[in-house]
Amino acid sequence: MSLFHFRPRRSVQRRKFIFLGMFAPAVAPRPANPRPPEPHAHPVPPPANPLQASRTRRIFDAHLHCPSDDGTVWQWHPVTRTFDEFAAYLDRTGVQRGIINSVRSQLAKDAAGFIAGNREVARRAEKSKGRFLPACVVNPLLIDEALREMEDCRRKYGMVWVGELCNYTVPYQYTIKEFELLVEQAVKLNMALDVHTELDEMQYVIEKFPRATLVFPHFGDSNEYRNIFKRIDLIAAHPNTYLDTSGYGHDRVGVLEYAVDKIGPGRILFGSDFSINDPATVIARVEHAFLTEDQRERILAGNLEALLKKVAA
Ligand SMILES: [Zn+2]
């Protein structure tokens, strides 16, 4: 959920909602037909200060947008403008490792732009001595350059992750032929493909590309309550797909537990969407959730490590 990219309907809705947030008890959307409580025996975690607890945990963030050398940063009001400030904030919240994609590549209007952004994250990842892993972002509307760039990122820079691709920032539809070619290239190069979607887009991509290793950010989408369980159920039904915990719906108590019940503990990845959102809110929800220690550790780092092993093979 890149709150920066104003899909007109959603951002207006969203902003209004946030400002009214303090009246949330009065205006928060009430589920039309609240789910009957399922008699699940969830392990009750010991009372813990989540941020203290997270200090001792391995936390590997699958969803990071890092600022560019040209000063471009994704933040409603920029307070971590440089890469050092970006990394220091992750230190502060207890995030040890992460997959970084370049805001410069996300906003690029030409191939030179997305290539320059990918080179930036490659340099930073190398300098971080493994703390950060670089992700490749391309624009399928420039398909020849995009396919070549994916090949270079995989072969020359060891990148195994494409995205997060946010089609609405460009914009393009995931139904275009060029996107099909991009997915085929990701499958051929054994790279994980991370795409931002609304429910209908998620459904299309999952059904269209069963051989791809697909990562979908966010439990919910802009129709948060209406679609959140349908999105989780879609992931549950397709073993080649993963869901990251960032953004919409991560703070809704019970949603993470539902996701673990349906998907299982192995395909939920810790994701924050930082530098837009604070990783600490996701960490707090995972720490407080009714999960076993093993489930918590797999979500916070283990699952992403296992996925990276799979695509690096
Ligand atoms: Zn994002």
| CA 2 to ligand 1 center in whole angstroms | 5
Return d(Cα 109, Cα 76) in angstroms, integer: 22
The domain containing residue 264 runs over which residues?
55-312
Q: Does residue 154 sit within a domain? A: yes
Residues 86 and 275: beta-carbon distance below 8 Å: yes
What does each C-alpha distance from 124 to 41, 70, 134 come to in angstroms?
44, 14, 8
What's the number of CA atoms in the CB half-sphere (13 Å) around residue 151? 9
Q: Does residue 1 sit within a domain? A: no
The DSSP string of 267-303 is SEE----BTTS-HHHHHHHHHHSS--HHHHHIIIIIH
Return d(Cα 148, Cα 150) in angstroms, integer: 6
Q: Does residue 18 sit within a domain? A: no
- pTM comes to 0.85
Across the chain, which has 313 residues, the per-10-residue mean pLDDT values are 45 44 46 51 56 74 96 96 97 97 96 98 97 98 98 97 96 98 98 98 98 98 93 98 97 98 98 98 97 97 97 86
What pLDDT is attached to residue 32?
55
What pLDDT is attached to residue 129?
96
Return d(Cα 221, Cα 66) in angstroms, integer: 22
| CA 265 to ligand 1 center in whole angstroms | 22
Residues with CB under 5 A from ligand 1 (ion): 2, 164, 273
CATH of the domain at 251: 3.20.20.140
Pairing of strands 97-102, 132-134: parallel
Both structure tokens of 85:
């400030």
| CA 63 to ligand 1 center in whole angstroms | 6
Q: Does residue 29 sit within a domain? A: no
Alpha helices in the chain, H assignment, sequence order = 8-20, 24-27, 50-54, 83-93, 103-107, 111-127, 143-157, 177-188, 199-208, 224-236, 255-263, 279-288, 293-297, 303-312
Return d(Cα 28, Cα 20) in angstroms, integer: 9
What are the CB-based long-range contacts (under 8 Å, 24+) for 31-35? 31/225, 35/229
Q: Does residue 49 sit within a domain? A: no
Residues 83 and 67: beta-carbon distance below 8 Å: yes
| CA 123 to ligand 1 center in whole angstroms | 21
Q: Does residue 33 sit within a domain? A: no
Q: Does residue 41 sit within a domain? A: no
| CA 170 to ligand 1 center in whole angstroms | 14
What pLDDT is attached to residue 312?
86
What's the number of CA atoms in the CB half-sphere (13 Å) around residue 133? 21
AA letter at 9: R
| CA 65 to ligand 1 center in whole angstroms | 7
**How many domains does the chain fold into?**
1
Task: Give percent above pLDDT 90 in the chain.
Answer: 80
What pLDDT is attached to residue 313?
77
Residues 206 and 226: beta-carbon distance below 8 Å: no
Can you say whether the dihedral through the CA atoms of 162, 168, 169, 175 is positive or negative? Answer: positive
pLDDT tens track for 239-289: 999 999 999 999 999 999 999 999 999 999 999 999 999 999 999 999 999
| CA 64 to ligand 1 center in whole angstroms | 7
Q: Does residue 19 sit within a domain? A: no
Both structure tokens of 159:
């990148």
Helix (H, G, I), strand (E, B) or coil at 100: strand
